[in-house]
Structure 1
């Protein structure tokens, strides 16, 4: 996921089961991040998944990003395909060979997190341009 806004973070205090806290600490150590940042990531992603159940989050070379469940596609790829299909979601679904519901789910996610998805689209375009200039 692209970095969240620069608002001042607010404190949040709550109790968790000891086993969950142990797993959080252990996983944070494995990833080399603070348990606070990992808990914040889980909270943010969980809230997003509740609203956008066909979207999940995965790590990649460029960082963590939104992807479409049941496909190997990132949300930005689906949105970019819709844009390149003159805004025709059904045409994009046919081209990508994915259910229309997955395309519409990507568009709903984009409507809420356009800056994040536009960031990934621009990154991918920059990588493609650099690769093309090397050939």
Structure 2
């Protein structure tokens, strides 16, 4: 198992252990937050829910503020308001990380839209 995890991450055993310790400490500080792997790398997320950056981006884009914003996010993501509060707490401690993930997602979205528009002009 250990060798497979090291091979999959491309990290040495020491780096993998450090990452797991860091993630474990973050999960202990922010109950309900887990870490998921994927094409964009490891990222913080709600257990059985959306990525932290997705919730933060949503909260930034809606008109509601305060408890109404938390309730709106809970409804949209179909999670309890306490889980949205966990996201807000995590963001408070790791905002640079989450802001960077949002920027990457927005850039990817802009590139995809640009490519789509070019294809549409080609076949129009």
Does TM, normalized by the shorter one, top 0.5? Answer: yes
Q: Secondary structure at the match of 1:53?
A: coil
- Confirm or deny: 8 A CA contact 1:57 1:64 kept in the other structure: yes
Q: Secondary structure at the match of 1:60?
A: coil
Which of 90, 96, 101 in structure 2 is aligned with 1:115?
96
Q: Does 1:42 align with 2:23?
A: no
Give 5+ residue unaligned stretches, structure 2.
117-124
Give 5+ residue unaligned stretches, structure 1.
1-22
Q: What is the root-mean-square deviation in Å for CA atoms of aligned residues?
A: 1.5
Listed as ranges, the matches of 1:5-84 within 5 Å are 24-25=2-3, 27-71=5-49, 73-84=50-61
Task: Give the Å deviation of 1:30.
Answer: 4.9
Q: Give the number of aligned pairs.
A: 112
Q: In structure 2, do the counterparts of structure 1 residues 131 and 25 end up closer, same or farther at CA, with 3 Å as the change threshold?
A: closer
Q: In structure 2, do the counterparts of structure 1 residues 58 and 90 end up closer, same or farther at CA, with 3 Å as the change threshold?
A: same
1:85 equivalent in structure 2 = 62
Point out which structure has higher relative CO (alpha carbons under 8 A, 6+ apart).
Answer: 1
Distance 2:102 2:7 in 1: 31
Task: Give the Å deviation of 1:33.
Answer: 1.8
Distance 1:30 1:130 in 2: 28
Normalized against structure 2, the TM-score is what?
Answer: 0.82
